[in-house]
Amino acid sequence: MSTGQQSAATGHCPGCGQSIDAHAVYCPNCGRPYYASPDSASMLAAEPTQSGAYATAPVQSASTGAPPPLPEWVNQPTATGGIAGLGAGAALAPEQPIRSHKRRNVLTAISALVVVGLLAGGAYWAYAAFAARNSNQLAHYFPSNTVVFASVDLVAAANNNFHMNPADLAGPQATQLQRATGLDWQKDVVSWAGPDLALGVFPLSKTTQAGATTGPIPQVGVVVLVQSHDDGAARAMLAKINAHVKQQGTTPQATTYRGFTLYAPSSDASQGASQGMYGSGGGWVIIASNAEAAHAVIDRVNGGSDSLSDQQPFKDATDNLPSNHFGTYYVNVREMMNSIVPVRAPNGLASISVPFVESYPVAGGYIGWTNTGERSQITFNAARNPNIPDVSGDTTGFAALAPSDAMAYAGAGNVGKFMQAVSEQFGTAAAGVDPLQSSLGISSSDPMAQQPVGVAAIKGSNAVPQPVFYVHVSDSSAASQLLAKIATVRHWTTKPTTIGGQSATALYETASFGVPPTGGDGTPGAVNETAHLVAVALTLRNTLVLAPDTATAATIVQVAQGSTPSLASNATFQKLIKAAPSGAAITAYIGASAFQSLASAPMGSAAQSGLVSHIDALALSLVWNNSLLQGTFDAGLHA
């Protein structure tokens, strides 16, 4: 704790047995939350720090700008768990170029450390029993014109049945961030942070740098706000950051504003407003893209009005979220468009035809634990009837023609109507753009396009994923007709063949190239042509299948004949599809092996540990109708 004194009273960690000071909030050996006796806990809550602050921030009403009240400590074990990787928040990019890359890297690393580190492991300090809190109350601290908002309750995130270890998620990233900031997230961040964290993005109304003028596109403020239950420890972290910044050759410029001490990593105080700021006060730590953004949030922490939580669109988008969620997010697309292209500006929003913005202007979403793993869902409720066609249909039927170890799969219920809906809602219909006509040779309104389609990525012999395309057809005659249209628009030639006893068609593309002249008069040489196989087509179970080569086509035939198990019989696939919302227009699935391969590029060794090692598969479903547009992302997890 921040008293800097070692109590003679000790306890023992229920996890590893390590001796622990009675005032500790987590085990220094294994990181498990530790709870002293109720008497010790009450003493701890009232024990002053060296700086005169309290170990637990004093409870005040929201109107005074204080953080939400924190519950008392209780003498009971905490469920083992952690938070799934929610990803880093929006990068705190300044509006004006930063002259020093070191300063930019420090501020970015600070933001990443707080957002990633806290989401990954901040719940190591834990209040096992906590009063029910309004998950949207943090929106009170952000301006009413906030266009993007997200908040996380770290306590709720820590309560899961998958034994997630937050330390696993922080490991490699925390090492890199420590080099950039000098901070140890376990010692320097976890000691004060939580349980609430919020991020907001909003347009700024004033200039943020002396002599600067606001252009046609307003500057944007980005703020990360993190609750602090130990202001002394938070200030110690900031002092450590400042010391690290000085080692990089820059002296942070300190300012004060309404009870907050703010720092700008700039050698020129006049540039601090545009280069980002960080600081603390009143039970909060704040990281902002500039001074105006920081001041806007601090004003509301101190009881200012004009908050996002009072706005009806925000209430409509977030009031009906499940009670057991631990994360909330909100996007106001209409306000975002108005900010980028003001309505009153010449050729502004009024001249841009984007029906989707008027049909689905605001979205609300949540993140929470489910029986199968973790769910993230965002919903755009229709403000008016968009009159789109019925785009739902059978999105998973083609899984019966994909092998069980398929790396990925996606299906659309009605590709023609879906493309029509996209064209109508995003204004491409007026431009006469029809992707199906250009790629397949049929229009979106053609009856042959009013069918389910799908694609699967299956393992090839050389470990390279091979794409297989599926289109539902009424009969073999319709399949032949569709194949002929595709071959014509793609300039392919066809040749009958047989795959696994099934009649098939080999599709070839002809490439032409010139031979260098051989005579001295410069006469061009002959033109040679060569044909190479681009696909193999066959019809199975009223489905036109397009495979990239004969070996892949043979695998699909084996699945159809039952000699190779299908993805539809895969238990993980079945579990996630069963849990997904019904009436989907699109369904997608990514197997664990494919996800680990994708994650290994940006995450390196971390892809083999932490959350990634717990993932069985990922599933995405999109429901779109005249009432809503809803995307649901499910991560299937195992303990």
Domain check: are 294 and 173 in the same one? yes
Domain check: are 605 and 461 in the same one? yes
Q: Helix crossing, 101-112 with 166-181: angle to 10°? A: 160
Q: Is residue 341 part of a domain?
A: no
What integer pLDDT is reported at residue 272 of this predicted model?
Answer: 40
What integer pLDDT is reported at residue 93 of this predicted model?
Answer: 35
Tokens of 130: 């906590």
| DSSP E strand stretches across 401-526 | 408-412, 453-459, 465-472, 492-499, 502-514
Domain check: are 104 and 221 in the same one? yes
Q: How far apart are CA 451 and CA 109, in angstroms?
A: 48
Instruction: Report the amino acid identity of residue 591.
Output: G
Rounded to a whole number of angstroms, the distance between the first and last alpha carbons of the chain is: 32
Q: How far apart are CA 567 and CA 276, in angstroms?
A: 49
Q: How far apart are CA 33 and CA 166, in angstroms?
A: 12
Task: Select from 305, 323, 345 the last residue of a domain.
Answer: 305
Closest CA to 318 of 331, 336, 301: 331
Q: How far apart are CA 277 and CA 233, in angstroms?
A: 19
Q: Is the pLDDT of residue 352 over 70?
A: no
What integer pLDDT is reported at residue 614 of this predicted model?
Answer: 78
Instruction: Report the amino acid identity of residue 134.
Output: N
Domain check: are 401 and 277 in the same one? no
Task: Specify the 3-state DSSP secondary structure of 82.
Answer: coil
What integer pLDDT is reported at residue 159 of this predicted model?
Answer: 81
Which segment of 193-207, 250-264, 302-316 scores lowest on mean pLDDT? 193-207
Which segment of 42-46, 272-276, 287-291 scores lowest on mean pLDDT? 42-46
Buried b (16+ CB within 10 A) or exposed e, 612-625: bebbbbbbbbbbbb
Q: Which is more confident, 586 or 133?
A: 586
What integer pLDDT is reported at residue 11 of this predicted model?
Answer: 64
Q: How far apart are CA 134 and CA 35, in angstroms?
A: 25
Q: Is the pLDDT of residue 385 over 80?
A: yes
Q: How far apart are CA 480 and CA 478, in angstroms?
A: 5
Q: Is the pLDDT of residue 213 over 60?
A: no
Q: Cβ of 263: how many Cβ atoms within 10 Å?
A: 22
Q: What is the mean pLDDT of residues 458-484?
A: 90
Q: How far apart are CA 606 and CA 581, in angstroms?
A: 31
What are the pLDDT digits (tens) for 485-523? Answer: 999 999 999 999 999 999 999 999 987 665 566 555 666
Tokens of 59: 């409870």
Q: Is residue 538 part of a domain?
A: yes
- Please enumerate in sequence order all residues whose Cβ is within 8 A of that of 633, keeping only pairs 6 or more positions apart, or say none: 375, 376, 377, 618, 619, 620
Share of the chain above pLDDT 90, in %: 44
Q: Which is more confident, 309 or 186?
A: 309
Q: Is the pLDDT of residue 42 over 60?
A: no
DSSP one-letter code for 90: -
Q: Is the pLDDT of residue 566 over 90?
A: yes
Q: What is the mean pLDDT of residues 585-613?
A: 69
On whether the pTM is more than 0.85, the answer is no
**pLDDT band at 165, cuts 50/70/90?**
low
Q: Is the pLDDT of residue 431 over 90?
A: no
Residue for token pair 């699967």: 456
DSSP one-letter code for 310: G
Q: Is the pLDDT of residue 177 over 80?
A: no
DSSP one-letter code for 99: S
What are the pLDDT digits (tens) for 77-104? Answer: 333 322 222 223 333 333 333 344 444 4
Q: Is residue 520 part of a domain?
A: no
- Please enumerate in sequence order all residues whose Cβ is within 8 A of that of 243, keeping only pairs 6 or more positions apart, or say none: 182
Closest CA to 15 of 37, 1, 33, 40: 33
Q: What is the mean pLDDT of residues 382-391?
A: 94
Q: Is the pLDDT of residue 527 over 90?
A: no
Q: Is residue 150 part of a domain?
A: no
Closest CA to 456 of 443, 475, 469: 469
Q: How far apart are CA 622 and CA 237, in angstroms?
A: 43
Q: Is residue 36 part of a domain?
A: no
Domain check: are 294 and 411 in the same one? no
Query: Could you give the residue ranges of the DSSP H alpha helices within 427-471?
Result: 435-440
**pLDDT band at 239, cuts 50/70/90?**
very high
Q: Is residue 355 part of a domain?
A: no
What integer pLDDT is reported at residue 173 of this predicted model?
Answer: 62
Q: Is residue 582 part of a domain?
A: yes
What are the pLDDT digits (tens) for 466-478? Answer: 999 999 999 999 9
CA 116 to chain centre: 12
- Angstrom distances, CA of residue 426 to CA of 71, 359, 393: 48, 11, 22
Q: Cβ of 299: how many Cβ atoms within 10 Å?
A: 18
Domain of 208, in residue numbers: 48-135+157-305
- Please enumerate in sequence order all residues whose Cβ is within 8 A of that of 176, keeping only pairs 6 or more positions apart, or say none: none
CA 43 to chain centre: 41
What integer pLDDT is reported at residue 531 of this predicted model?
Answer: 82
Task: Select from 305, 333, 354 the last residue of a domain.
Answer: 305
Tokens of 363: 């979205």
**pLDDT band at 295, cuts 50/70/90?**
very high
Q: Which is more confident, 336 or 93?
A: 336
Return mean pLDDT, the chain: 75
Domain check: are 568 and 437 in the same one? yes
Q: Is residue 280 part of a domain?
A: yes
What are the pLDDT digits (tens) for 11-29? Answer: 666 555 666 555 444 454 5
What integer pLDDT is reported at residue 523 of this predicted model?
Answer: 62
R_g (Cα) of the chain, nearest Å:
29
Share of the chain above pLDDT 70, in %: 64
Domain check: are 64 and 186 in the same one? yes
Q: What is the mean pLDDT of residues 313-333?
A: 91
179-184 contact pairs (CB < 8 A, 24+)? 180/105, 180/106, 180/108, 180/109, 181/106, 181/109, 181/110, 181/113, 181/241, 181/244, 182/240, 182/241, 182/243, 182/244, 182/247, 183/110, 183/113, 183/237, 183/240, 183/241, 183/244
Q: How many folded domains does the chain comprise? A: 2
What are the pLDDT digits (tens) for 611-636? Answer: 667 788 999 999 999 999 999 999 99
Q: Which is more confident, 357 or 438?
A: 357
Task: Select from 259, 286, 305 the last residue of a domain.
Answer: 305
3-class SS string, 236-273 = HHHHHHHHHHHHCCCCCEEEEECCEEEEECCCCHHHHH
Domain check: are 99 and 219 in the same one? yes
Q: Is the pLDDT of residue 378 over 60?
A: yes
Residue for token pair 């609430």: 196
The sign of the dihedral angle between the CA atoms of 495, 497, 503, 505 is negative
Domain check: are 271 and 402 in the same one? no
* Contact in structure between 171 and 331 (CB atoms under 8 Å): no
